[in-house]
Chains A and B, each alone.
Chain A
């Protein structure tokens, strides 16, 4: 595992610490010494650099057995190579975020959430299954503490994996590390139209736009604003697929007033019931057969994160109209 010749090499403590990746060394030494001093268990994830230069992820777990004159005489524990697991975590994150880059094909919040649900479901499945195994071992004629211990460590690892997924979503959904730049909502809309026009064509949706010329810029994150518009447009297209008796027409409009810019997405679908106008923004409320009911909740949270508002209206004729309004870029700097 360490890429060393077992015959020629005798690993000493110093030699071991020299193999640790420089970025992890200080923390690991601190964790290790802390564990030795109070004779508690030691548990850490770190990287090593093998003699051949390759980097591996290691999960180490152990305990000092006895301490004499302030020096550990024996240390027993296990190390496991978790490189494959780490690579998988990175891959699933990459697959999770793929398709959400600007200008990529239309991916809605619902699709994002379906991916997220999958990514959280896997560690949850592992946790539940591992717990089942631990219970079986406890109930056995001869309980197996070694197995139970291993399973509990695995449960902790899977729990961490699930919480990492959540942490990444926070980044994606704008709770952290989001850019705030002046941007043109008309340009945002153009990008979304480009990525949704195949879907509109295949559903026979006729698009009209009424975009205000020389629209003043708003302050925000371009990718998040694209997600907002994209989600409203995809919702509208989906709503109109229920309509066969009249034309399917979509109107996207931008209007500025004294404080900000409003974007309206107006469809000729079945519309939103009066009682549902506010409810549609609540999480897990949906009118769709396959929907998770989370798209509009996230969309509203992004708009509010930009200091704006998002609401739905029932049109006197037919269809629904969703409008969001965000403040001008200057409004913040003024």
Chain B
């Protein structure tokens, strides 16, 4: 089942709606964790496993849109599905611009909500995989020596061993040895794989940060 260890958080101040959402999510084979307010949710640690948030817009004190804004300033990128009893266009636009996955008016079709939840969990799973891969590439780059990193940059610019050797005043053989070590430490089976890793890093964080 693709739901293994996924968590669906629910924040709604209406106890009836909250219980019903818990039942529906449970009946779809997912784990629901419910909160009566945005403040309570913010105290909850975010799981490593895939998760998403079903969030009511109108709540006393911190509203759903406020919570979305708060979350945007934290490392958490949990996908949000908004539910609301009064939908108006500006509110929906604000929510979607803030990166919401879906905006549903109460009462919604249960299947529409479940579809949105599955989609949000898929997004979160993909995002978390990407983050994990990035972390792993970054830690491998960190294990390279200064010299190896230097040589890797030359390699990535498409230079031949001979060119690198003359530029860095090394023997061609030394460059070859470094090259093999780099491939080993980076866990790259071939040059194309190394390029893909560094591109991933470059696109997301920039290689500079890893230095």
Interface residues of A (CB under 8 A from B): 84-85, 88, 114, 117-118, 121-137, 140, 147, 150-151, 154, 157-158, 161
Q: Are A158 and B23 in contact (CB under 8 A)?
A: no
- Chain B positions 164-194 with a Cβ under 8 Å from a chain A Cβ: none
Assuming A133-B23, A137-B27, A151-B23, is B107 touching A157 (CB within 8 A)?
no
Q: Are B106 and A122 in contact (CB under 8 A)?
A: yes
Q: Considering only CB atoms, which chain A residue lies closest to B23 in the complex?
A: A133
Other-chain contact of A125, B23, B26, B27, B106 (Cβ < 8 Å): B106
Other-chain contact of B27, A84, A118, A133 (Cβ < 8 Å): A133
Assuming A84-B15, A85-B15, A122-B14, is B85 touching A154 (CB within 8 A)?
no
Q: Considering only CB atoms, which chain A residue lies closest to B83 in the complex?
A: A125
Within the complex, what minimum Cβ distance (angstroms) separates B14 from chain A? 5
The answer to whether the Cβ of B43 comes within 8 Å of any Cβ in the partner chain is: no
A131 to B83, CA, bound (A): 18
| Residues of chain A lying within 8 A (CB to CB) of residue B199 | none
Assuming A114-B86, A118-B85, is B24 touching A133 (CB within 8 A)?
yes
Q: Are A147 and B27 in contact (CB under 8 A)?
A: yes
Task: List 16 extra interface pairs beyond A117-B86, A122-B85, CB under 8 A.
Answer: A88-B15, A124-B107, A125-B83, A126-B14, A128-B107, A129-B17, A129-B20, A129-B24, A131-B110, A134-B27, A136-B24, A140-B27, A147-B23, A150-B23, A151-B23, A158-B20
Q: Are B28 and A130 in contact (CB under 8 A)?
A: no
A216 to B78, CA, bound (A): 66
Interface residues of B (CB under 8 A from A): 13-17, 19-21, 23-24, 26-28, 58, 83, 85-86, 106-111, 113
Within the complex, what minimum Cβ distance (angstroms) separates A111 from chain B? 12
| Residues of chain A lying within 8 A (CB to CB) of residue B17 | 122, 125-126, 129
Q: Are A125 and B20 in contact (CB under 8 A)?
A: yes
Q: Considering only CB atoms, which chain A residue lies closest to B88 in the complex?
A: A290
Within the complex, what minimum Cβ distance (angstroms) separates A173 from chain B? 21
Assuming A133-B23, A137-B27, is B16 touching A126 (CB within 8 A)?
yes
Within the complex, what minimum Cβ distance (angstroms) separates A36 from chain B? 29
| Residues of chain B lying within 8 A (CB to CB) of residue A136 | 24, 27-28, 110
A88 to B58, CA, bound (A): 15
Q: Are B107 and A154 in contact (CB under 8 A)?
A: no
Other-chain contact of A133, B14, B20, B83 (Cβ < 8 Å): B20
| Residues of chain B lying within 8 A (CB to CB) of residue A157 | 16
Within the complex, what minimum Cβ distance (angstroms) separates A238 from chain B? 17
Assuming A88-B14, A121-B106, A124-B107, is B23 touching A129 (CB within 8 A)?
yes
What 8 pairs across the A-B complex have the smallest Cβ distances?
A132-B110, A136-B27, A129-B20, A133-B23, A126-B16, A125-B107, A126-B20, A125-B106
A130 to B26, CA, bound (A): 11
A161 to B24, CA, bound (A): 20
| Residues of chain B lying within 8 A (CB to CB) of residue A131 | 110
Q: Are B16 and A132 in contact (CB under 8 A)?
A: no
| Residues of chain A lying within 8 A (CB to CB) of residue B20 | 125-127, 129-130, 133, 151, 154, 158
| Residues of chain A lying within 8 A (CB to CB) of residue B83 | 125
Q: Which of A147, A157, A158, A161 has the most CB of B within 10 A?
A: A158
Within the complex, what minimum Cβ distance (angstroms) separates A149 from chain B? 11
A137 to B23, CA, bound (A): 10
| Residues of chain A lying within 8 A (CB to CB) of residue B19 | 126, 130, 154
Q: Which of B20, B106, B109, B113 has the most CB of A within 10 A?
A: B20
Q: Considering only CB atoms, which chain B residue lies closest to A120 in the complex?
A: B85
Q: Are A129 and B86 in contact (CB under 8 A)?
A: no
A121 to B108, CA, bound (A): 11
Q: Which of A84, A88, A117 has the most CB of B within 10 A?
A: A88
Other-chain contact of B85, A121, A132, A140, A150 (Cβ < 8 Å): A121
A150 to B24, CA, bound (A): 12
| Residues of chain A lying within 8 A (CB to CB) of residue B14 | 88, 122, 126
